[in-house]
Structure 1
């Protein structure tokens, strides 16, 4: 069969006709959808591939026609816009095709990231931009959609209940086929207008360039809010009648070698991998892979786009997997954009055409595309000279929906599309050399400089308009890294304040975007070159950094950090050496820079980093019974090494050794805060919150008994309260006290406050975090199966959908079998990183269930002078709320919370904070929560410094 057998012909007017043809002509082609309910994500569950559900084009057409009928019954007409917020491919694709067959214009929404405010602002902007369109989503995601005036919503499940429609719309080639958003989930997104003619032209050109046929098997693992997933790895296989496999990105990211296992198992011939994934696969390849586990001989090409491919990374990938049948020319560096319908340049001659180069070229253009490299005036430059890459062709979008300014600025005066990328021609091939757009690509994801800068400008320590976020790529790195330059708003010569500013900048980036800047650089105001409009030239800062102009500032900053963390102390024992290396690996810093006295959390470690640390230490140092409490109370390599030595020779622990207080941070002169654990008994969930109290007030978390070998769980609520109260008074003999409790820990904190009052002590602050005063009414359905599912979601063992659906499947099974089933579903890499096994997980889950029963014994009585209750914007996923509309569940939860009014002699205050019950104290929500939380403590304790604004009024 030739590559042109299924090319879109002149008789195909619109995209919808492609599915109609595929269902009739290629009924035997397979579509495989990942089924999270049948098998784990590590490829080692049942071993026979049943974790994928098999379907075909006739079934896809039938599902699409049913959804189409549902949309038509809602009154949609050709040309109407439809927002698609659907994560699962088996639901997204029929919804997309329903729009194509009905003449509606779908706009895929990306999953929300960042804070709840950022997600809501993004959704509101898109909602208004597209004239308040219908939103189609799944039942599971519907609860997460932020409310907005004029929002109308339908679920895929309800639409699919309809009978098939027979009323198709025959769209014209120039009609709008799809709108694709171009910015991240924050900021003002632009909607790229792609017509049927654009998509069909691109499909034909890519099929020819990549020599695709109906015999190909295509694998996709990226979201359909990316045009490459929608076109290159779905529409093109539909056009050809080829088979396709759709995998959630989490499956690949959790275990990079699974990418290759799936290729081998399903005989995939073409797929996609950005460069950062190639780097992850290369790293994972250091582990021994059985010779018979992979057969990559069918894989013809891996398209690699989204970020530049270092030749060393690409070559290592080809060499590492050549023994498994990977072809020497299988990696195709490529270039494309949303505005070009994805791929338009492919290099099928890597690596030999890139000999001596640091980065791979992106090859030659597809057919029907004109390309030129031009100077700022729009004049083409000779081969070998650098200029902006500009394009012209049938696959180029006409512009941006309802954004004439952006559409106009994207074109030259003579009609060429401006990519914003710098490059040059060499021997007919294109080589990119940089970007003129202000974005940073980290691990294949674009982050916008202005969004990072806007978040950092809100910090008191950062001078407004004197902050720049720009990329750097250290030699040998697989991806770009983020550099933050800022002018510190701190007193001259105050090293402590400057170190605090550096920490605040780092923590803000981690909280909002989930990764650490590679370099944070305080600079004088005059170093920020601005144009006449006051705009900082990030490119100039980047160039100066690379050329060494800021070497002195880099050195001085490094010295400041070293001094602030204490003089560097080299590791002195074998264990200290190993721990320094582990710290460096986890936190992405050079082990040589890690002092043996460096605090893990001062270096930027988070709660989930701590679990990774426990797993790494357990594996590398052979400490199978290492406890989280050991890491929390011994956070430096030196103290942890001493703890390991002590544990190896000391007697067995008993209840007498148990101390419920975990000092999460020691600094600050204000009254200490004692915060009680949530229902699971562990205090990791409080770690990110505690870090924000540095320099403010000491923060002691109260941890349940029973985690450590030799400890026995509490047998009664009275015993638990007596133990916790005694520990608090040993640390702080007399009041006034500041107490808080997370989740059902709020009930325990209330009981401790009442006990302290009975001893004549004053409790000035009592805070409860998202839980009412009585547990027993909420216990209906809150059994062991729910406990293990909810906690597993926090640990990253289950996704949100799995955590909601799994309890019903677990009920009735023996306890250990329930725990084992969760571990079978969990990504193997995640389980290994957290050093979890059946025994440890069973102990934890059993303890959590035991604590729940003890707390149910207690009925609050009496009152305290004042109470502040913090609650999320949505109620927790308790079984008592199942089946209730969102508004009713929220109101019933607020009514439950207001029962605290009976236990306060003064007016109780209710403060709404961003996030859900299990995410309030985690990034990105913790940044807002901690500020509101500290305001309330300062107000009640009378020891605030006046730096906070008044908390919002009670609900």
Structure 2
């Protein structure tokens, strides 16, 4: 078994490009700083030595509850270099959710941002495995914790740790939009396999690139694609604390960003920003969309109005994350998420696990070196989705056309109207064509005669007005009657998780 560590890629980049900026930091309050590859590598060594100074052994779990900052990067790579397993925590989690994950992961330490330290209130005493709390950004240590500066000061010189490629590296917990969060076990080999796969597409990042990283780093898409892959290639990563339409557009222009790693809400927000066409975006050589389906209208408008092609991809936490990308072809196909990246096998199967007929929809199942080994301490949940021969059942329904994957919807999101299947994404694609609609989502709502009916939750563009009948009539031009919304609700915004996925469970509560 070979010895490999994700952090080795950072070390190699630092040896090759010591004085090149690795990070450009843009806090939302303004200002910012640069960190060279040499300095970042030294900081990571200090963090790794500090983790070792806590007495943590190879394979123990370290949770990170940090915003987009240098602390996240240093703690992440420091833990990796020390042979530890990183458990990234969503910074919007409540105290109960944090406690649940820390308990499940048996985390021995947590590095938490000062803004999120209150989530640990009253739960540390209930977590016997959690021995160490480090608060990043604090000037003085809270009770029972130490500051990041104190943490670094207690460690000695870093001692090299041998890590096998199949050793657990990352334990991200699924978003829990459909149930209890589960820890997806990703090895160093899984994460690095996805890097190698991306290197073989037209979306490979190069040393001269400046990559916009504005999605939350605790999400696998931002973590392994925007940050880790870019740093492994020697690019400069522009880390923004959080997304702001105007500040991010200004950063793209002033920092000459060449690669944008985004999600649909970001591209939608930019399109709806007055004066967006006045920003100089000529430095952008490509933009990528992931984490949630990109409406076709957004893709076409972005190219026609701003001159930037968005290359859509598809993946999951359990697949490190990238599975398919339209960048396997010469041009994006609107509505498609592309073909499998090299090394990934993909099939569509029916409810019995048999391959569907050509042209029929089926559940997407995949196999490849980037696919996880299972859920942490949950054999039953693993057995539900992962076959013995490595095929992973994604829970997504798709269609294949000439090898190109078109996602129809999540199996569990399907609406059943009088026995007919209605896939929310099909209806949402039509809604996004309406000139007055800025954003939309579709769920099922109980109906006394048809079992369920389609409900559209709609955000109108600023200054626009519309009646429910206008929306339904518009849909009837393009959809069969049973697919058209029976109920239309107008809202100020759609509930989403930090990665941009619409929280349909929240919409169903009012359905």
1:29 to 8, 20, 36: 20
2:248 to 259, 262, 276: 259
Counterpart residue number, 2:10: 19
1:101 aligned onto 2:56:
no
Following TM superposition, by how much is the alpha carbon of 1:40 offset from its aligned partner in structure 2, in angstroms? 4.5
Alignment of 1:317-332 (within 5 A): 317-322=302-307, 326=308, 330-332=309-311
1:416 aligned onto 2:391:
yes
1:215 to 200, 203, 208: 208
Counterpart residue number, 1:839: none
| Secondary structure of 2:299's aligned partner | helix
| Secondary structure of 2:74's aligned partner | helix
| Residue pair 1:365, 1:371 contacting (<8 A) in 2 also | yes
State the Cα RMSD in Å.
3.3
Alignment of 1:682-697 (within 5 A): none
Counterpart residue number, 2:72: 92
2: distance between equivalents of 1:308 and 1:301?
18
Counterpart residue number, 2:112: 137
1:315 aligned onto 2:300:
yes
1: distance between equivalents of 2:323 and 2:248?
25
Counterpart residue number, 2:268: 279
| Residue pair 1:224, 1:230 contacting (<8 A) in 2 also | yes
1:77 aligned onto 2:57:
yes
1:175 aligned onto 2:167:
yes
1:476 aligned onto 2:352:
no
Counterpart residue number, 1:159: 151
Counterpart residue number, 2:497: none
2: distance between equivalents of 1:216 and 1:111?
29
1:30–1:437 CA distance, 2 compared to 1 (3 A): farther
1:165-202 Cα shifts (integer Å, max 9, x gaps)? 22121100000011111124995210110001101111
1: distance between equivalents of 2:331 and 2:191?
32
1:34–1:90 CA distance, 2 compared to 1 (3 A): same
1: distance between equivalents of 2:468 and 2:454?
22
1:638-679 Cα shifts (integer Å, max 9, x gaps)? xxxxxxxxxxxxxxxxxxxxxxxxxxxxxxxxxxxxxxxxxx
| Residue pair 1:344, 1:366 contacting (<8 A) in 2 also | yes
Following TM superposition, by how much is the alpha carbon of 1:138 offset from its aligned partner in structure 2, in angstroms? 2.9
| Residue pair 1:311, 1:351 contacting (<8 A) in 2 also | no
2: distance between equivalents of 1:413 and 1:17?
31
| Residue pair 1:301, 1:332 contacting (<8 A) in 2 also | yes
2: distance between equivalents of 1:185 and 1:65?
37
1:68–1:592 CA distance, 2 compared to 1 (3 A): closer
1:264–1:382 CA distance, 2 compared to 1 (3 A): farther
| Residue pair 1:62, 1:164 contacting (<8 A) in 2 also | no
Counterpart residue number, 2:478: none
1: distance between equivalents of 2:276 and 2:103?
52
Pick 1 or 2: higher relative contact order, CA cutoff 8 A, min separation 6. Answer: 2
Q: Compare CA radii of gyration and give the structure with the larger one.
A: 1
Deviates more, 1:311-320 or 1:127-136: 127-136
Counterpart residue number, 2:258: 269
| Secondary structure of 1:181's aligned partner | coil
1:226–1:587 CA distance, 2 compared to 1 (3 A): farther
1: distance between equivalents of 2:193 and 2:314?
17
1:205 aligned onto 2:197:
yes
Following TM superposition, by how much is the alpha carbon of 1:349 offset from its aligned partner in structure 2, in angstroms? 8.0
1: distance between equivalents of 2:178 and 2:335?
31
Counterpart residue number, 2:348: 373
2: distance between equivalents of 1:433 and 1:605?
25
1: distance between equivalents of 2:55 and 2:328?
52
Deviates more, 1:301-310 or 1:199-208: 301-310
1: distance between equivalents of 2:76 and 2:288?
24
Following TM superposition, by how much is the alpha carbon of 1:395 offset from its aligned partner in structure 2, in angstroms? 0.6
1:347 to 307, 316, 326: 326
1: distance between equivalents of 2:241 and 2:332?
34
TM-score normalized with structure 1 length: 0.43
1:531-572 Cα shifts (integer Å, max 9, x gaps)? xxxxxxxxxx3xx438xxxxxxx9xxxxxxxxxxxxxxxxxx
1:69–1:214 CA distance, 2 compared to 1 (3 A): same
| Residue pair 2:22, 2:34 contacting (<8 A) in 1 also | yes
Following TM superposition, by how much is the alpha carbon of 1:163 offset from its aligned partner in structure 2, in angstroms? 5.6
Q: Which runs of 5+ in 2 are unaligned?
A: 137-147, 416-423, 433-437, 471-488, 494-505, 507-511
Following TM superposition, by how much is the alpha carbon of 1:317 offset from its aligned partner in structure 2, in angstroms? 0.7
2: distance between equivalents of 1:134 and 1:384?
50
1:303–1:129 CA distance, 2 compared to 1 (3 A): same
1:384 aligned onto 2:359:
yes
Counterpart residue number, 1:110: 90
1: distance between equivalents of 2:348 and 2:431?
28
2:408 to 433, 437, 440: 433
TM-score normalized with structure 2 length: 0.78
1:413–1:437 CA distance, 2 compared to 1 (3 A): farther
Following TM superposition, by how much is the alpha carbon of 1:372 offset from its aligned partner in structure 2, in angstroms? 1.4
| Residue pair 2:68, 2:242 contacting (<8 A) in 1 also | no
| Residue pair 1:181, 1:191 contacting (<8 A) in 2 also | yes
